[in-house]
């Protein structure tokens, strides 16, 4: 014990009594107005109630202004965020929202005919990327999870007569959350947990002499006063962008898409355990399974294709598609997320594009930043600068990571993809790409080189993410030699295949979790589960 941290080390962003406001302090932070009722607004309001229970939290939304209504694929950090940080009972979530599982992303992308898997266990390299490339010329047998994805299975097995054995606690996974059901559930939960609610449109944001927000005025003429204003108004960016005029940093040089045509496609009970990303003529299409059907969206550039053409192309991919909708977006971030008594979370601050599902992940990171650093009084020091710098850096890293998807995708020879290959700005990646060209996988490079890359290159999902994306697409490199006989690799792969053969389909495994609450209890409660071990720290260090 003498060699361990005597005071228990860093703390989780739990309830911090030191940030409770003092009696009689006129600058105390007590009343919080969350403006916007999309995923960003509701998750923020719930987090503030969970971690700062003394705050009076009111969510203001204009029911007449619809939420964006997309944003259904998540990343693994959402699982501990919902169940540990917000304390949502998994069984309640399963009953109300009926999530499906995402073991990773399946990319119909790059030069290899079968595309490539980007499983969430990519950091484990459990079967081996070099052996996979050597024996089948793709990376799709590099981890256990990628083998499960190829066969549409989940790591849950029959055990005994009618029992089920789950290995879900050993493999990171995320949820697909049907957006309408998720927001409906969060709305109901917020009411139960004491979040106030006002249905009104904010017409005016009135600033004080110090440049801080003094109060809001609704379209009914009502004045609303808060100590802290959280701008969750979506792309309108009512407070941060419009009222406070925080400059906008566009990512349009790296990311050319700005619109999506979405639709619903029957899946006839075949639930895939992944999000699929399919290269299209002027962009790509997501396919996200819900329990009832697949939700799809053709993300494209309005400069290269019309809505009618995009709809027709989507219909060629999925002849049974119906319920088409068009969604507009822009890629970029504001210079700062937190100015004075306004913090923006969600699309009001930043958005890239749907590839790699960064939206909800970054919303949760914004929430952790606010909750973890909100002072009890505006007279106390407030770490806005560090929060702004850290969030901006993360968004810039995502920009560069996504830019690689466009710059190096050789699958289609259309005007859009030729433009992407020629013009996508990847200037932030120069050093990283140079190292990759000299030898890959990066995971086997010299530790000093790796260390330098990790501390200087904008990788966002780490070097394993870069390896997966570039090797998966067949991007040119000098492949490092195998360090074991190929038969050793084959033996490991054969053992993994035996397990995959016995795994349940994703639909069967989900049904098992619906029926047996012990499976979820074990996943979120066992000390050796990744959900417990990594918690929300995974987000901060991602």
- The residues assigned a catalytic role are 102
Which backbone phi and psi does 199 adopt, to 5 degrees?
Answer: -95, 100
| Residue 224 engages ligand FAD in binding (rule: CB under 6 A) | no
| Segment lying near ligand FAD (by CB under 6 A), choices 30-38, 188-196, 389-397, 508-516 | 30-38
| Residue 110 engages ligand FAD in binding (rule: CB under 6 A) | no
| Distance from chain centroid for Cα 140 | 23
- For 192, the 3-state DSSP assignment is helix
32, 33, 39, 530: residue in contact with ligand FAD (rule CB under 6 A): 39
| Residue 76 engages ligand FAD in binding (rule: CB under 6 A) | no
Is 47 in contact with 23 (CB distance < 8 Å)? no
| Residue 40 engages ligand FAD in binding (rule: CB under 6 A) | yes
d(CA 357, CA 461): 12
Q: Which helix (H) or strand (E) holds 51?
A: helix 39-51
Toward ligand FAD, which CB reaches closer, 341 or 347? 347
**Which residue has tokens 């999506």?**
260
User: Which DSSP letter does residue 261 get?
Assistant: E
CA-wise closest residue to 363 among 34, 19, 17 = 34
| Segment lying near ligand FAD (by CB under 6 A), choices 80-88, 229-237, 306-314, 482-490 | 229-237
28, 32, 34, 41: residue in contact with ligand FAD (rule CB under 6 A): 41
Per-position b or e across 22-53, b if 16+ CB within 10 A of its CB? eeeeeebbbbbbbbbbbbbbbbbbbbbbbbbe
| Residue 283 engages ligand FAD in binding (rule: CB under 6 A) | no
| Residue 238 engages ligand FAD in binding (rule: CB under 6 A) | yes
Toward ligand FAD, which CB reaches closer, 19 or 187? 187
Toward ligand FAD, which CB reaches closer, 236 or 450? 236
| Residue 421 engages ligand FAD in binding (rule: CB under 6 A) | no
CB of 39 to ligand FAD, least distance (A): 4
Q: How many residues bind ligand FAD (CB under 6 A)?
A: 37
| Residue 366 engages ligand FAD in binding (rule: CB under 6 A) | no
d(CA 239, CA 230): 9
| Distance from chain centroid for Cα 264 | 21
Per-residue x/- track, 249-278, ligand FAD (CB under 6 A): -----------x------------------
> Going by DSSP bridges, is the β-strand pair 223-224/213-218 parallel, antiparallel, or unpaired?
antiparallel
| Segment lying near ligand FAD (by CB under 6 A), choices 64-72, 221-229, 369-377, 442-450 | 64-72
Question: Where in 247-360 does DSSP place strands (E)?
Answer: 248-250, 259-266, 275-280, 283-289, 293-300, 322-328, 332-334, 338-339, 342-344, 350-351
Is 500 in contact with 49 (CB distance < 8 Å)? no
Supply 226's token pair: 């808060």
| Segment lying near ligand FAD (by CB under 6 A), choices 25-33, 71-79, 302-310, 335-343 | 71-79
- Scan residues 312-351 and list those touching ligand FAD (CB under 6 A): 327, 329, 346-348
Supply 174's token pair: 């995320």
CB of 334 to ligand FAD, least distance (A): 13
Maximum C-alpha span of the chain: 76
| Segment lying near ligand FAD (by CB under 6 A), choices 54-62, 151-159, 206-214, 485-493 | 54-62
34, 49, 61, 251: residue in contact with ligand FAD (rule CB under 6 A): 61
21, 29, 33, 71: residue in contact with ligand FAD (rule CB under 6 A): 71
CA-wise closest residue to 118 among 402, 336, 339 = 402
| Residue 429 engages ligand FAD in binding (rule: CB under 6 A) | no
**Which residue has tokens 């990628």?**
146
Contacting residues toward ligand FAD, per CB under 6 A: 35-41, 60-62, 65, 67-68, 70-74, 201-202, 232-234, 236, 238, 260, 297, 327, 329, 346-348, 354, 357, 359-360, 363
């Amino acid at each position: 014990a003498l060699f361990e941290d005597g005071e228990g080390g860093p703390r989780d962003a739990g309830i911090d009594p030191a940030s409770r406001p003092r009696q009689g302090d006129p600058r105390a932070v007590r009343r919080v107005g969350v403006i916007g009722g999309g995923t960003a607004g509701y998750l923020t309001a719930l987090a503030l109630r969970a971690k700062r229970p003394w705050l009076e939290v009111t969510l203001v939304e204009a029911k007449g202004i619809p939420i964006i209504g997309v944003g259904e694929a998540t990343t693994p950090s959402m699982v501990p965020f919902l169940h540990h940080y917000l304390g949502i009972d998994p069984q309640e979530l399963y009953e109300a929202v009926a999530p499906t599982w995402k073991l990773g992303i399946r990319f119909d992308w790059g030069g290899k005919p079968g595309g490539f898997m980007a499983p969430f266990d990519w950091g484990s390299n459990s079967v081996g990327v070099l052996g996979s490339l050597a024996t089948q010329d793709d990376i799709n047998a590099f981890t256990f999870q990628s083998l499960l994805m190829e066969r549409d299975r989940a790591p849950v097995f029959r055990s005994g007569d009618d029992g089920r054995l789950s290995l879900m606690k050993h493999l990171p996974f995320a949820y697909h959350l049907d957006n309408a059901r998720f927001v409906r559930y969060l709305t109901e939960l917020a009411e139960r947990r004491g979040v106030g609610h006002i249905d009104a449109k904010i017409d005016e944001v009135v600033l004080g002499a110090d440049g801080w927000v003094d109060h809001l005025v609704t379209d009914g003429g009502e004045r609303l006063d808060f100590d802290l204003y959280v701008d969750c108004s979506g792309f309108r960016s009512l407070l941060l962008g419009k009222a406070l005029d925080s400059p906008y940093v566009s990512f349009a040089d790296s990311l050319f898409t700005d619109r999506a045509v979405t639709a619903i496609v029957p899946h006839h009970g075949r639930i895939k355990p992944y999000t699929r990303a399919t290269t299209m003529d002027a962009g790509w299409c997501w396919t996200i399974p819900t329990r009832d059907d697949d939700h799809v969206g053709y993300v494209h550039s309005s400069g290269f294709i019309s809505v009618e053409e995009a709809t027709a192309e989507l219909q060629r991919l999925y002849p049974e598609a119906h319920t088409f909708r068009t969604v507009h977006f822009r890629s970029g971030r504001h210079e700062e997320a937190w100015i004075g008594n306004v913090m923006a979370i969600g699309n009001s601050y930043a958005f890239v594009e749907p590839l790699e599902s960064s939206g909800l992940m970054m919303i949760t990171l914004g929430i952790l930043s606010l909750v973890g650093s909100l002072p009890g009084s505006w007279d106390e020091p407030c770490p806005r600068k560090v929060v702004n710098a850290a969030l901006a850096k993360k968004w810039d890293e995502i920009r560069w990571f996504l830019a690689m998807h466009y710059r190096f995708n050789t699958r289609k020879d259309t005007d859009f993809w030729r433009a992407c290959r020629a013009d996508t700005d990847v200037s932030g990646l120069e050093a990283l790409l140079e190292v990759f060209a000299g030898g890959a996988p990066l995971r086997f490079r010299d530790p000093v080189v790796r260390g330098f890359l990790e501390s200087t290159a904008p990788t966002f999902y780490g070097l394993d993410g870069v390896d997966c994306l570039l090797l998966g697409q067949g991007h040119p490199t000098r492949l490092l030699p195998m360090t074991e006989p190929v038969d050793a690799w084959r033996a490991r792969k054969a053992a993994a295949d035996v397990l995959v053969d016995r795994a349940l389909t994703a639909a069967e495994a989900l049904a098992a979790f619906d029926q047996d609450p012990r499976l979820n209890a074990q996943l979120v409660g066992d000390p050796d589960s990744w959900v417990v071990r990594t918690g929300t720290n995974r987000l901060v260090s991602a």
